[in-house]
Amino acid sequence: MSSIIGYYTTQFGELWDKSLFDLAREAISGVLQDCELEKNQIDAVFYGNMMAGVLENNLHGGAKIAQLLGTHVPIFRVESACASGGMAFHLAHNYILAGKAETVLVLGAEKMTDYPPEVVVQALAAAASGEEQEAGLTFAGLYALIANYYFSKYNVTEEDLAHVSVKNHFHGSLNEKAQFKNIITVQQVLKSSYVASPLKVLDSSPISDGACAVVITSNKQLLANAKNKVEILASEVATDALSLKDRAYFDRLEATSIAAKKAFEISKVKIEDINVAEVHDCFSIAEVLALEDIGFCKKGTGAKFVAGGKVTLGESSSFVVNTSGGLKAAGHPVGATGVKQIGEIFLQLTGRAQKRQVKNAHTGLAHNVGGSGGTVVVTILSNKN
């Protein structure tokens, strides 16, 4: 088995004074410092990035990472839409399990705010099917279609859904690296402008810059000397049709259910053992689907599950969702998000999440989605080692 021994994240937000590789450099330096390693102790790097090829005309980022590290080790750029970071982690973990390396750095980075919003939205839409793009559907539009169907089928309202963003902004207010630290109300969500009805501005994650990195190792000496370590119990991937119209279901992301089931089986963890989860809330409806599809609550009950306060941080909380603020409040630099989710679980399980620390957290889950559910990565971590 391999374990995470270090994590670092840059600030998320509109970072006008930093380039993509400024952010990458900061994340690499920060994670090496966190786990007290030298560059020459890294055997390989997996780099999650979605949009540099489209926005920056840069498709050979691996060589740039080699330049930053001053290394000749294998470096793999991974693209899987908004699941690029989670997929990079999955591949790095399996690279170690295959015996190809002992110590691997996983980097996720994205620079989105230097470009006009319409250009970024068009670039993001490249993760949808050609038919959906030709119809003018953005991801807000795709998730709005899902939300409208879900509302109709389960008698859920916009007010019910608004509690997701309220919770995540509360958690984001406790995260110094979050893009948004402002607490919001249900009424503010409801009064915000529609992006694609029924989804509004405050139902939607922002355009963000940021980078994150973790170090994974199976090296016995490094593990023995590590100040902080969390065991990787499972990292599983499932896929689905690219187009919504070709999916078996319209009120769920089936790839989430499949990846989660595999992760629970491999880890031998029961769902009630999870103390903290980072789930993919690119839009508020996505968090509701995730909670149901993973199995934390029954289908059709996710919005009310959140609204009831059961997954909000509090003195007696035993299970909390999106302590980082989620994509909604922490920010969503798409290539970095999956690594941030895993890093947040690492902080929680090592007792270093500061104001947002979940008491007695011992097992956590990260859930990273690409596109509208075409790719899903589910990772389970534990500090019981």
The one catalytic residue among 35, 82, 212, 297: 82
Greatest Cα pair distance, the chain, in angstroms, is 57
State whether residue 278 is helix, strand or coil.
Answer: strand
**Do you find a cis peptide bond into 198, omega within 30 degrees of 0?**
yes
Handedness of CA 23, 26, 30, 36 (dihedral sign): positive
Whether 35 is a known active-site residue: answer no
Are the CB atoms for 188 and 345 separated by under 8 Å?
no
Whether 332 is a known active-site residue: answer yes
Q: How many helices (H) and strands (E) does the chain have?
A: 15, 12
Handedness of CA 293, 298, 303, 307 (dihedral sign): negative
346 backbone dihedrals φ, ψ, rounded to 5°: -60, -45
C-alpha count within 13 angstroms, C-beta hemisphere, residue 210: 29
The one catalytic residue among 169, 280, 332, 367: 332
C-alpha count within 13 angstroms, C-beta hemisphere, residue 167: 27
State whether residue 211 is helix, strand or coil.
Answer: strand
Task: Just list the catalytic residues.
Answer: 82, 332
